[in-house]
């Protein structure tokens, strides 16, 4: 079994880390560079930074923050928010990011993923998908979950894989911030349909949820925010628990 990854997610707004419930009601969770350094030391496998208002406000993710994070951490990190061109990705990678996450821009112009993977390699390209179950169907949403589309989650993820995405970051909007567990049924379907890794996001509330997302959801990595930011779960303790449940992790 491949080693499963634990990934703290830092949602960035106005230079601060924030966390909400179902994508709204945001509260401050600290300085992103300080948090990144803390997570790197506490056993996180990777980090994800999402500038959650970058697309909405039509501005670019701050390259300066990326550079500061790169100076402080020794684990891979992904940056997303407002990325819509080869030039955007070039700036972020040159400033120290290992991967980029593309969401709304891929829906607006799917061939962007072909261009990015051809230029930088698929290992650098994560496609983030925010989806919500509406009348039994998982539909993709854009702009921080504010704009619904008629795209089916599973069909869209498959297209992104075919266009060169190296992994899929799937956030269940129904589960996000609720701490009731991940969307394991949808994750298992995704995992069986795709060859590339699936990062699960949305719903982590306790250690059992992480065990479930790997055993039932078949995810390759689990991403969470508030349980880590507010010290409800320590990564070291979580990894030891996962090991006890027969899940291979890096200690």
14 counts as catalytic: no
Model confidence at 18: pLDDT above 90: no
Type and span of the H or E element at 227: helix 226-229
pLDDT digits (tens, 9 = 90+) for 58-93: 445 578 889 999 999 999 999 998 899 999 999 999
> Phi and psi for 59 in degrees, rounded to 5?
-130, 165
Q: What is the DSSP letter of 123?
A: G
DSSP code of 203? -
Residue 16: pLDDT band by 50, 70, 90 thresholds? Answer: confident
Cα–Cα nearest to 56, from 76, 26, 78:
26
Active site residue 130: yes
Residue 174 CB partners (closer than 8 Å, separation 6+): 22, 132, 133, 183, 202
Annotated active-site residue in 45, 130, 176, 220: 130
CA proximity to 73, closest of 63, 65, 81, 83: 65
The reported pLDDT for the residue numbered 60 is 57
Share the mean pLDDT of the chain.
91
pLDDT at 2: 83
Confidence at residue 29, expressed as pLDDT on a 0 to 100 scale = 66
Question: What's residue 30's pLDDT?
Answer: 74
Instruction: Choose the CATH number for 5-244 among 3.40.462.20, 3.20.20.70, 3.40.220.10, 3.40.50.150.
Output: 3.20.20.70
In tens, the pLDDT along 202-237 reads: 999 999 999 999 999 999 999 998 899 889 999 999
Picking from 26, 7, 2, 13, the residue whose alpha carbon sits closest to that of residue 59 is 13
pLDDT tens track for 107-153: 999 999 999 999 999 999 999 999 999 999 999 999 877 899 999 99
């Amino acid at each position: 079994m491949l080693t499963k990854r634990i990934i703290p997610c830092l949602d960035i707004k106005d230079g601060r880390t924030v966390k909400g419930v179902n994508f709204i009601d945001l509260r401050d969770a600290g300085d992103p560079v300080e948090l990144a350094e803390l997570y790197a030391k506490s056993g996180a496998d990777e980090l994800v930074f999402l500038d959650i208002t970058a697309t909405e406000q039509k501005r670019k993710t701050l390259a300066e923050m990326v550079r500061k994070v790169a100076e402080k951490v020794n684990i891979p990190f992904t940056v997303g928010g407002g990325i819509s061109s080869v030039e955007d990705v070039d700036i972020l990678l040159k400033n120290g990011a290992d991967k980029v996450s593309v969401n709304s821009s891929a829906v607006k112009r799917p061939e962007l993923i072909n261009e990015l993977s051809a230029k930088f390699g698929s290992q650098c390209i994560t496609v983030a998908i925010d989806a919500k179950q509406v009348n039994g169907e998982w539909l993709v949403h854009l702009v921080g979950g504010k704009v619904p589309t008629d795209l089916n989650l599973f069909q869209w993820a498959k297209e992104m894989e075919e266009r060169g995405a190296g992994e899929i970051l799937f956030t269940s909007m129904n589960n996000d911030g609720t701490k009731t567990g991940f969307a394991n049924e949808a994750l298992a379907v995704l995992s069986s349909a795709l060859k590339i890794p699936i990062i699960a996001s949305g719903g982590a509330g306790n250690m059992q949820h992480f065990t479930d997302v790997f055993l039932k959801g078949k995810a390759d990595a689990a991403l969470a925010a508030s349980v880590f930011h507010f010290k409800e779960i320590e990564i070291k303790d979580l990894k030891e628990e996962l090991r006890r449940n027969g899940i291979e992790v890096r200690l």
